[in-house]
Amino acid sequence: MDSPLVTYLLPAILAVIMFGLGLGLTVADFRRVAAYPRIVAVALVCQLVLLPAACLGLVLAFDLGPELAVGMMLLAASPGGTMANIFSHLFGGDVALNVTLTAVNSVIAVATLPLVVNLSLDHFMAGTDDGLGLRFDKTLQVFLVVLVPVAAGMLTRHRRPDLAERSTQAVKVTAMVALVGIIVAAVVAERDNIAGYLADVGMVVLLFVAISLTTGYGATRLARGDHRQSVAACFEIGMHNTTLAMAIALSPSLLDSTEMAIPSAVYGVVMWVVAMAAGFLLRRIAPARSADLGASSLPG
């Protein structure tokens, strides 16, 4: 994996992915926080504090190896993925709230993700000579390849909305095809260890997905959010950006570790199945929630 092509290609792919995310955001998505202040605050606390803490508990309880443990923490620190918007739409969630949470969390993650990863590396990789980490120069690189492309995408959306609409899908497909190719190459290189990795991390990933989805819905209900807001938070908090996590793990200029990418790869498969099951369950209980108190259906 440590070739000049991959060294420069992965950060470029990550930048393109985040540019595509920016193409779908507007300044209004950030301003909309004022319409949901309490719900946004609760969702962010879940995403930024509760889930990393829960993930740490799972990692310690299952005694994962250092690289897999860091990979799980990287996944937990990653913001919600764009698939959350689609699942929210399919299963009756408040998609506007999803977009708002994605916008805010993606910006905040520029600071929190390197912090969580560095603390995880210091704890789980202490005493190793791998030289891994997201120190200042690498943290700056994360900032450059995450926040700057998002801002550029938003600027393009503002200045050339027609161009943004036409190019959004092409940008996503191009970046994903390139990333999938690199992931396949990484899996082939580690093919002798894959079965062991899956056995080690599979149950941890399954429990983390279930905890994430349950926390998203339950915490929002406790905060007096209505069913649609709770469904939105369920998927936003429960569906992490595996693409971002894998790109950071695999990039030779960042973590350069196939093993650290394994939890995100497994999560990317398990998440679909569990999230789909959760969606059908939420759809079944929606009628029972239709008589929510009027106060709980108000914004925020």
User: In which domain, by residue range, is 215 found?
Assistant: 4-285
Is the distance from CB of 75 to CB of 263 less than 8 angstroms? yes
Asked if residue 222 is part of any domain, the answer here is yes
Is the distance from CB of 267 to CB of 51 less than 8 angstroms? no
Which residues does residue 80 pair with via DSSP β-bridges, in sequence order? Answer: 240
Asked if residue 42 is part of any domain, the answer here is yes
Which residue type does 79 have? P
Is the distance from CB of 263 to CB of 199 less than 8 angstroms? no
Please list the pLDDT of the chain residue by residue as tens digits (300 residues): 444 445 556 667 667 777 776 777 777 767 777 777 888 899 989 998 999 999 999 999 999 989 999 999 999 998 876 778 778 878 888 878 888 888 788 778 878 888 888 889 888 887 554 544 555 555 566 666 667 777 788 788 878 877 777 776 676 676 667 656 665 665 566 566 666 767 789 899 999 999 999 999 999 999 988 898 999 999 999 888 887 888 788 877 678 788 888 898 888 878 888 988 999 999 888 755 444 444 444 445
Q: Find the CATH number of the domain harbouring 168.
A: 1.20.1530.20
Asked if residue 298 is part of any domain, the answer here is no
Q: How far is 159 from 18, CA to CA, in rounded Å?
A: 18
Q: How far is 43 from 39, CA to CA, in rounded Å?
A: 6
Q: How far is 58 from 192, CA to CA, in rounded Å?
A: 25
Asked if residue 294 is part of any domain, the answer here is no
Is the distance from CB of 20 to CB of 171 less than 8 angstroms? yes
| Tally of domains in the chain | 1
Task: Give residue for tokens 């698939």.
Answer: 83
Asked if residue 300 is part of any domain, the answer here is no
Q: How far is 49 from 76, CA to CA, in rounded Å?
A: 10
Asked if residue 296 is part of any domain, the answer here is no
Interval 138-168: pLDDT, tens: 556 666 666 777 778 878 887 887 777 777 6
Q: How far is 114 from 57, CA to CA, in rounded Å?
A: 19
Q: With both helix axes pointing from N to C terminus, report the angle between 95-124 and 83-90 in degrees, rounded to the nearest 10.
A: 140
Task: Give residue for tokens 């894998």.
Answer: 246
Instruction: Characterize 263-287 residue by residue with b for buried, 16 or more Cβ atoms within 10 angstroms of its Cβ, and e for exposed.
Output: bbbbbbebbeebbeebbeebeeeee
Q: How far is 63 from 79, CA to CA, in rounded Å?
A: 25
Q: How far is 297 from 300, CA to CA, in rounded Å?
A: 9
Task: Give residue for tokens 């005694």.
Answer: 63
Q: How far is 60 from 36, CA to CA, in rounded Å?
A: 35
Which residues does residue 240 pair with via DSSP β-bridges, in sequence order? Answer: 80
DSSP assigned state of 240:
B
The gap between the terminal CA atoms of the chain, to the nearest Å, is 46
What pLDDT shows up at residue 297? Answer: 44
Q: How far is 145 from 110, CA to CA, in rounded Å?
A: 10
Asked if residue 291 is part of any domain, the answer here is no
Asked if residue 268 is part of any domain, the answer here is yes
